[in-house]
Each structure stands twice: as C-alpha cells, then as structure tokens.
Structure 1
C-alpha cells in the first residue's frame, strides 16, 4: 500500500520541477546536486532533494532554492517562472552573461 502525501503548494511544486529539470538537463545526479549545494553553504542531503522531487514535501526553503540556483548557474527567478528570458531564452552564448536575466553569470568565490 503506497502512502498518500499532502499535495505540494503550487509555487513549491513548480520550483521543484524546474530544479529537477535543470538538474537533468545538465546531467547532474541528485547526489551530486546535494553535494554541490552543501559545498555552497546550505547543508543538503540526497534524500532531501529526492523527497522534494517526489512530492513528499509541501514547501521548499528559500535558502535551498537560492543555493540550487547558484549551483545550477541559473537566476533564482528562472526557478519561479515557466517563461524563459526573452533576450537569451535562458541560455546565453558560452562565456557570456545575459544582461536581461543574468543567466550565465559566474559566481566568484
């Protein structure tokens, strides 16, 4: 018998889906993303991300969203909106940063 979980909040569900989409698009495993998020300063376990992606958690912490965006190299806003940037479609040319949405920006340590 499978366990029923409360439905995710609509915004959280969209954010989690976009994080998972970017993760898969970049060929990053759940474990590798969790490790990179932890290295970014937000303690994160593989099971936490897996539980978010499977819908077991209704909400997602803002700090986790921020850390995931940093690791995935996407603007935080891209995780909240379906529509890609009208200037670069979310993918500026290699080595460039989109002035409209900030995609491609390299964070300095």
Structure 2
C-alpha cells in the first residue's frame, strides 16, 4: 500500500483561497473519489491512485452545500486538499454536477 493520500480511501479536508485568509482557516468537508485515466471511479480501496488526474468531490453536509458551497464554488477555482492547516495537493474545479440541487434532500 502507498503512502497516505495515495489510496482511494484518503479523506482530507478541502479549502479554496478564500477559506485560507482567516486564522484559523475555514476548511470544508469535501472528500475526493479518485478516478482512473478513463474517468471511472477507482473501486479498489487498496489500489494506488494516480499522482495527478481527476476526482469526483463529495460535499458531506447538505447545509454546507446549500448555504456555502453552492454560492461560492465556480468553474476554474483553485482549491487544496488540506491536512489541518497544511496544503498537501492542489486541485481545480473543471466541472460542476449536482452542486446547485440535490434530489436526495429536496
């Protein structure tokens, strides 16, 4: 098994630049589901994920999605996988699906 952060079950917090201006930083509970080079979710939790690529990002709390994330997340935004206040990886919003409505909660 690889180092922490290299497998599918990795669960960091997430932040955008606007979240890092305050002290303490304002982290978001948005977790990755890493994809292979064909855009399919990597199903094997013990399999290493690519060092770069794409991930489906899941907002864990409905209230946060509706009241904060849906109002602030835009295409092209740069974000960061966070371990505490430490940036461990960079990301960019390249597609938005299901952010503005979620039938599960409506």
- Output the TM-score relative to the length of structure 2: 0.30
Q: Larger helix proportion, structure 1 or 2?
A: 1
